[in-house]
């Protein structure tokens, strides 16, 4: 008997029944197709943008408002200058064609070990916790989120939702299942593994800056 078969047999033996009948199975499938909604954290803020920013900043992230997508390069350049980061970045093509200042080197490929700066478009921002949700894809490579020391994320205000669950509704509407990687990111990488004292920049980005667009 295969390991799979013996495990399923043991599960059913433990539960004191055979395989579920068709009626029971379709009931469970219906629970997946129409997921029951559970209790959520109260987010009664009228202004979700402010809530998002406050929560994100509470975990050492930084935010900035910009008016249009065209402002992204200047905002990134200013940040790079203030932290003495060389004018070079990996940028997801989801951000479209941006006009970068002279001297900037822009790469749309996967982030390699020496890349110091990544710029990405957030798929959603969650006001409840001040987290962003990234979906991996050719236009939003996952290495951009984790390899660079500094990660700048562009979050259009219309992408900000109240709860995690709002993301699931949007994901199901998108209709392609889950991408290879989905990441809720709630601030810079951190560790408390040395004497339970928080240090930033354990393995992922040391710095996270969200450009709230709109």
Partner 1 sequence: MEFRSPEFKTRAVHALHDANLQKALSNTKAGFVVKRAQAAAEMPEFEALRDTAAEIKNHVLANLDHYLEKYEAAVTAAGGHVHYATDAEDARRIILGICKKANAKRITKGKSMVSEEMGLNEALIADGYEVVETDLGEYIIQLADEPPSHIIAPAIHKTKDQVADLFAAAHNKPRKTDRAELVAEAREVLREKYFTAEVGITGGNFLVAETGSSVIVTNEGNGDLTQTLAKVHIVTSGIERVIPTLDDLSVFLRILARSATGQETESYTTFSTGPRREGDIDGPEEYHVVLLDNGRSKMLGSRFQDMLRCIRCGACMNHCPVYGSIGGHAYGWVYPGPMGSVLTPLIKGMDGTYDLPNACTLNGRCKSVCPVRIPLPDLLREIRHNQFRQDMTPKRQKQALKLWRYVAERPKLYHFAERIGVRILASMANGKGKLRSLPFDPGWTGARDLPAPTGRTFLELWQAKRGDK
Residues between 144 and 163 that touch partner 1 (CB under 8 A): 145-147, 163
Nearer to partner 1 by Cβ, of 35 and 96: the residue is 35
Q: With contacts defined by CB under 8 A, how many residues of the chain interact with partner 1?
A: 80
* Contact status: 104 vs partner 1 (CB under 8 A): no
- As a whole number of angstroms, the distance between CA 155 and CA 102 comes to 25
Which residues, 62 to 91, sit near partner 1 by CB under 8 A? none
Dihedral class, residue 48 (left if φ above 0, else alpha if ψ from -120 to 50, else beta): alpha
CB of 70 to partner 1, least distance (A): 26
- As a whole number of angstroms, the distance between CA 39 and CA 127 comes to 16
Bridge partners for 132 per DSSP: 125, 185
- Range in contact with partner 1 (rule: CB under 8 A) among 64-72, 98-106, 153-161, 172-180: 172-180
* Contact status: 7 vs partner 1 (CB under 8 A): yes
CB of 117 to partner 1, least distance (A): 16
Question: Pattern of binders to partner 1 over 106-145, x per CB under 8 A?
Answer: ---xxxxx---------------x-x----xxx--xxx-x
* Contact status: 19 vs partner 1 (CB under 8 A): yes
Pick one of 57, 104, 186, 214: the residue that binds partner 1 (CB under 8 A): 186
- As a whole number of angstroms, the distance between CA 184 and CA 125 comes to 9
Is 195 exposed, middle or buried (CB count within 10 Å of its CB: 0-12, 13-18, 19+)? Answer: exposed
- As a whole number of angstroms, the distance between CA 179 and CA 214 comes to 27
Pairing state between β 117-121 and 88-91: parallel
């Amino acid at each position: 008997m295969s390991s799979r078969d013996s495990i399923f047999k043991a599960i059913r033996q433990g539960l004191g029944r055979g395989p579920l009948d068709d009626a029971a199975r379709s009931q469970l499938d219906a629970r997946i197709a129409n997921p029951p909604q559970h209790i959520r954290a109260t987010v009664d803020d009228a202004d979700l943008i402010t809530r998002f920013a406050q929560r994100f900043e509470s975990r050492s992230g930084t935010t900035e408002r910009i008016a249009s997508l065209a402002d992204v390069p200047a905002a990134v350049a200013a940040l790079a200058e203030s932290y003495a980061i060389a004018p070079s970045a990996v940028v997801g093509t989801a951000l479209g064609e941006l006009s970068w200042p002279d001297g900037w080197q822009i790469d749309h490929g996967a982030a390699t070990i020496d890349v110091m700066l990544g710029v990405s478009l957030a798929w959603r921002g969650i006001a409840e916790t001040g987290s962003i949700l990234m979906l991996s894809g050719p236009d939003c490579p996952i290495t951009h989120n984790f390899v660079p020391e500094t990660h700048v994320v562009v979050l259009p205000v219309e992408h900000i939702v109240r709860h995690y669950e709002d993301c699931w509704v949007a994901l199901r509407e998108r209709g392609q299942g889950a991408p290879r990687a989905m990441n809720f990111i709630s601030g810079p990488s951190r560790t408390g593994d040395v004497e339970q004292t928080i240090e930033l920049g354990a393995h992922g980005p040391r710095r996270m800056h969200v450009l709230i667009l709109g």
